[in-house]
Amino acid sequence: MWFFILILALALALFFAFSQKREGLSARISLGNEVVREVDLSEDKVIRLDGLPNVLLEVKDGAIAFIASDCPDKTCVNTGFLSRAGAFAACLPNGVSVAVVGDNPEMDAITR
């Protein structure tokens, strides 16, 4: 009886361990501190934001990047494609930021 329950317990434990959802990556686009879009990175597309006709983002091969912006310094475009959870890019003059979110057990943040 004891033994049976212990086996059951182990089975249950293993079930819980492996049934954790493995979600794909997505990107959260914010204006100021308000999230305006959440996009799935598994689908290629070009994103334009309401009210910011001169800022363009692109999702490609599971990564996202600013590909155009009317800001003077182009720091956002120069950041390039983001493909890991924890990575982010921002266009400060336009107040837009992009953060990649998803399960990433190895990295909580990436800093420059």
Partner 1 sequence: MHRSAAGFRAVCLAFLLAIVASGCTPAYNKYSAEFTGLFDTVIVLTGYAANEAEFKNYSDAVFGCMDELHKLFDIYHEYEGANNLYTVNKNAGVEPVAVSAEIIELLNMSKEYFELSGGRVNIALGPVLSLWREKREAALASPDTADIPRPDELAAAYELCDLDDVIIDEESGTVFLAKPGMSLDVGAIAKGYAADQAVLAAKEVGAESFLLDAGGNICAVGKPMDGRPSWNVGIQNPDSERSEGSVIDTLRLSGAAMACSGDYQRFYTANGMRYHHIIDPETLMPANLYKQVAVIHESAATADALSTALFCLPLDRGRELAGSLNAKAMWVDKNGGLYYTDDYE
Phi-psi category of residue 44: left, alpha or beta, with phi > 0 → left and psi -120 to 50 → alpha? beta
Distance in Å, CB of 23 to partner 1, minimum? 12
d(CA 3, CA 105) in angstroms, rounded, equals 34
- From 41-49, 53-61, 92-100, give the range in contact with partner 1 by CB under 8 A: 92-100
First to last CA, the chain: 57
Distance in Å, CB of 49 to partner 1, minimum? 13
Structural contact between residues 41 and 25, judged by C-beta atoms closer than 8 angstroms: yes
How many residues in the shown chain lie near partner 1 by CB under 8 A?
Answer: 45
Strands 52-60 and 45-49 come out as antiparallel
Please select the residue that binds partner 1; options are 36, 49, 58, 81, rule is CB under 8 A: 81
| Site membership for partner 1, residue 20 (CB under 8 A) | yes
Task: Provide the binding-site residues for partner 1, judged by CB under 8 A.
Answer: 1-2, 5-6, 8-10, 12-17, 20, 28, 30, 32-33, 72-73, 75, 78-84, 86-88, 90, 92, 95-97, 99, 101, 106-112
